[in-house]
Every structure is written in structure tokens, then in C-alpha cells.
């Protein structure tokens, strides 16, 4: 499982140096992202921007909630003989509820900024650039030390990544 760490730097040259150090410490290029204020984000290549929002966590929660609601509704329908719903029909309703729940909550979650952007909104609005790295527990400490050596400041954020 990978974890996510967030560092703050003052400008794009400092962000480039921090990214280079993270790569040198073993962090794959695809696991390094940047977050910046909208007037600075045009300096950041699109493949470095975090755009995931809360899409995946919301979809997962919606799938579970929808499945539970669908299963309960299906079991209630089984208990009413004139409806003619079988136990297999109840499980089909659970599957349908899961799909509907995942779709609707993922749609809502995609409109919400990712947790790092939300937590450090003040840092971003102050004009600083956030360097976000994802890594396994064996590489992350070495990468964090390498990034800190560049003068970056580590922010209080260590969470598992959603999809690893």
C-alpha cells in the first residue's frame, strides 16, 4: 500500500528540485504531483496536476451503501408474496443498487477537491506550491528526507492513497 506525503515550496524552481530529489530517492515519476493556486497552475504540466478529487472514495462508499439499500429493499419485496420477487431477485436489486449508488456518489465526489487541496487551501492561496508524493513504506522515508534537504517544508499529511 502506498501513502501520500505533502511538502510546501515557495516557487516552481523549488518544486522542480524537490521533484528531482524524490525521483532520485526512488519515487516513480507518475507518483509525484503538484498543487498550486489557479494563477500559478499554468506553469504546472497537466500530468503533474492532482485532479482526482474524491471520485474514488465516493464511488466506493456509494457502491456499498447502494448494495445495502438494494438488498434490504429486495428482501422486503421477497417477504411480500404477491410481488413474486425471489431471493435471486433480491440480490439483483442489491447489484442494481450498488451500481446506482456508485454512479451517483462518484458524480458528486468528482466535484469535491482532493483531501490535500482542502486541508492546505490556505497554503495554496498564499502562493506556495504543494509537492505531493506517493510511495511505499520502504521508499517514502528516504524520499521525504531527500525532499526536505531541498528546503521544502513537510506538511502534516500522511494518508494511504485511494488506488494503489
pLDDT tens readout for residues 95-114: 888 888 777 776 665 555 56
What is 100-135 written as a DSSP string?
A: HHHHHHHHHHTTSPPHHHHHTHHHHHTT-EEEEEEE
CATH 2.60.40 fits 2-52+113-160, yes or no: no
- What is the residue whose three cell numbers read 487541496? 117
pLDDT tens readout for residues 43-88: 555 545 554 455 566 677 778 888 888 888 888 888 888 777 788 8
What is 15-45 written as a DSSP string?
A: HHHHHHHHHHTT--GGGEEEE--TTTGGGS-
Q: Where are the domains of the chain?
A: 2-52+113-160, 55-109
Q: What is the pTM of this model?
A: 0.58
* Statement: residue 89 has pLDDT above 90: no
Amino acid at each position: 500500500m502506498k501513502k501520500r506525503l505533502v511538502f510546501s515550496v515557495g516557487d516552481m524552481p523549488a518544486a522542480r528540485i524537490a521533484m528531482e530529489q524524490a525521483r532520485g530517492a526512488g519515487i516513480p515519476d507518475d507518483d509525484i504531483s503538484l498543487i498550486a493556486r489557479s494563477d500559478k497552475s499554468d506553469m504546472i504540466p497537466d500530468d503533474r496536476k492532482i485532479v482526482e478529487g474524491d471520485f474514488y472514495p465516493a464511488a466506493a462508499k456509494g457502491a456499498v451503501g447502494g448494495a445495502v439499500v438494494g438488498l434490504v429493499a429486495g428482501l422486503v419485496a421477497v417477504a411480500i408474496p404477491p410481488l413474486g420477487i425471489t431471493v435471486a431477485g433480491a440480490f439483483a436489486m442489491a447489484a442494481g443498487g450498488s451500481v446506482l449508488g456508485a454512479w451517483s456518489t462518484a458524480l458528486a465526489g468528482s466535484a469535491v477537491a482532493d483531501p490535500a487541496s482542502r486541508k492546505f487551501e490556505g497554503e495554496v492561496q498564499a502562493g506556495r506550491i504543494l509537492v505531493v508524493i506517493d510511495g511505499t513504506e520502504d521508499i517514502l522515508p528516504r524520499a521525504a528526507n531527500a525532499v526536505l534537504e531541498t528546503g521544502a517544508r513537510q506538511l502534516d499529511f500522511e494518508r494511504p492513497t485511494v488506488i494503489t
